[in-house]
Structure 1
Amino acid sequence: MRLLLFGSTGSMGIPLAREYLWVYRSSTLVLYVRNRAKVPKDLAEDRNVIIIEGELDDMDSLSKAMEGVDAVITALGPTGRKGPFYPSGTPIAAAYIRIMVTMKGHNVRRLIALTTPSVRDGHDQFSLPLVFLRKTFATLAPNVVKDIVAIGRVVRTQGEELDWTLIRLALHSSDSDPENCEVVAGYMGDGKTNAISSRVGAATFIIQELDKREWIWKSPILSTP
């Protein structure tokens, strides 16, 4: 398998890259980054890793990165650290459109996109912790949430030719106990999901989903049991 990973220097991108290389030891991992200096040393020096530098609006670089790819994982997302200063447009959602256009041009069907419970799903029910988290985030960073919601809409409406999965993640645990990083997949208010997930556990689940394909055209929330 040849995987293209976006957002590979972020808090979820790094564990995803490492988990992929552990599971698919003889396969190729393509990292699309703006600055290769931010790639951790162990990934940068791995012989199975290809690093391509480019912007998210650079169609030539996106096309180059997509060559020979079997699947795409996007750990891109707007950062809440900018809060009220985040731009009023939806730049990350626009980047998703360009990525999906490039995927279709190279006949790549499999897409796993990471997002948050700000993206709603018809299977969701009421969950006080997740609703509180969603409303708090929307109050503090409305433009960030606008972009996140737009990502979900773009994937669902423009990904009709793709085998997409939207993975919704809320807050991350510290992962201080490597033996206790299990996550479960479900929907808001189903009695299984909560507002906390493990980065390590989520990375394991997501990489396994590449082959399992149990959540095609679905939007599960991952959380600790």
Structure 2
Amino acid sequence: MQRILVFGSTAPSGFPLVRNALQDYPEAKLVLCVRSPQKLPADIASHPSIVLTEGQLDDTTAIDRALNGVDAVLSALGPSSPKHPKDKTPIADFYAALLGLMRKRGVKRIVLLGTASARDPRDRFAIGFKAMTASVYTLYYPGFNEFRAIGQVFRSEAAKGIEWTMVRVPFLTDGESETYVVGYPGDGKAGTRVSRKAFGKFAVRELKKREWVGEMPAISNP
């Protein structure tokens, strides 16, 4: 893999995603599509394998240009602002457009951040996950609605022919542990806490291992 496009690299979960990609793909160029490059830590911004390109999520011309020569896509995009719209899903809309551009460019692989707000048929009832999603629904409905819509996009015809993996995370922490377990809500494996570092490690490894193509695994720290 020679060229990887990364979205959400200036988000807290984006930093470990980029650092793991630099570690696991030392020969590759990482194209970071950003709105605010000044938010990048110095070790990432100055790395010789990093290529910066500026663009908004709704700028399809810039996104299409960034996809040129890319082998795969990583994304840590997610809603976080209190100003995120309640009745719109701009990130889901972005993904719908991105998938079409990926097909046009012949880019088939994407690994992205998700949450349990995006339901999977293998999910089972678990009180911890039920409480978690209910609290997000109540306290930050725009985030719940956005991730639910993102899941719907990847389960739709928009993702036809794309080898996608949505890495669903529970409550994210700044813990140091990179150890993770993988499963589904209610299966006795996945818990309700995971470090951002563990998310970054799993997402980058899954890019190559391809063990969860077309699936929405839930990860957590043990």
* TM-score, structure 2 normalization: 0.95
- Deviation of the 1:144 alpha carbon: 2.3
After superposition, the C-alpha distances for 1:191-213 in whole angstroms (9 at most, x for unaligned) are 11111012112211111111110
Paired with 2:21 and 2:142, the residues of 1 have a C-alpha distance of 32
CA RMSD of aligned residues (A): 1.3
After superposition, the C-alpha distances for 1:105-155 in whole angstroms (9 at most, x for unaligned) are 101000112111111111111110110010111011223211110000001
Secondary structure in 2 matching 1:194: coil
- Deviation of the 1:181 alpha carbon: 2.6
| Partners of 1:114 and 1:168 within 8 A in 2 | yes
After superposition, the C-alpha distances for 1:7-29 in whole angstroms (9 at most, x for unaligned) are 00101111000111011111110
After superposition, the C-alpha distances for 1:57-97 in whole angstroms (9 at most, x for unaligned) are 11111011101101011111111x417x6341111111111
- Deviation of the 1:102 alpha carbon: 1.3
Number of aligned residue pairs: give it.
Answer: 220
Any residues of structure 2 matched to 1:66-145 within 5 Å, and which?
Answer: 66-79=67-80, 81-82=81-82, 86-145=85-144
| Partners of 2:86 and 2:145 within 8 A in 1 | no
| Partners of 2:174 and 2:197 within 8 A in 1 | no
Secondary structure in 2 matching 1:218: coil
Secondary structure in 2 matching 1:114: strand
2:64 aligns with: 63
Paired with 2:219 and 2:108, the residues of 1 have a C-alpha distance of 23
| Partners of 1:72 and 1:112 within 8 A in 2 | yes
| Partners of 1:195 and 1:223 within 8 A in 2 | yes
| Partners of 2:112 and 2:203 within 8 A in 1 | no
Indicate the percent of aligned positions where both proteins have the same amino acid. 37
After superposition, the C-alpha distances for 1:150-208 in whole angstroms (9 at most, x for unaligned) are 000001201111001111001123324xxx43101100010111110121122111111
| Partners of 2:10 and 2:37 within 8 A in 1 | no
Q: Give structure 1 stretches of 5+ with no counterpart.
A: none
Corresponding letter in the other structure for 1:149: R
Paired with 1:151 and 1:50, the residues of 2 have a C-alpha distance of 27
Q: Give structure 2 stretches of 5+ with no counterpart.
A: none
Secondary structure in 1 matching 2:12: coil
Kindly report structure 1 stretches of 4+ aligned residues shifted beyond 3 Å. none
Secondary structure in 2 matching 1:202: helix
Corresponding letter in the other structure for 2:212: W
Paired with 1:198 and 1:120, the residues of 2 have a C-alpha distance of 21
Further displaced range: 136-145 or 106-115: 136-145
* TM-score, structure 1 normalization: 0.94
1:32 aligns with: 33
Further displaced range: 134-143 or 213-222: 134-143
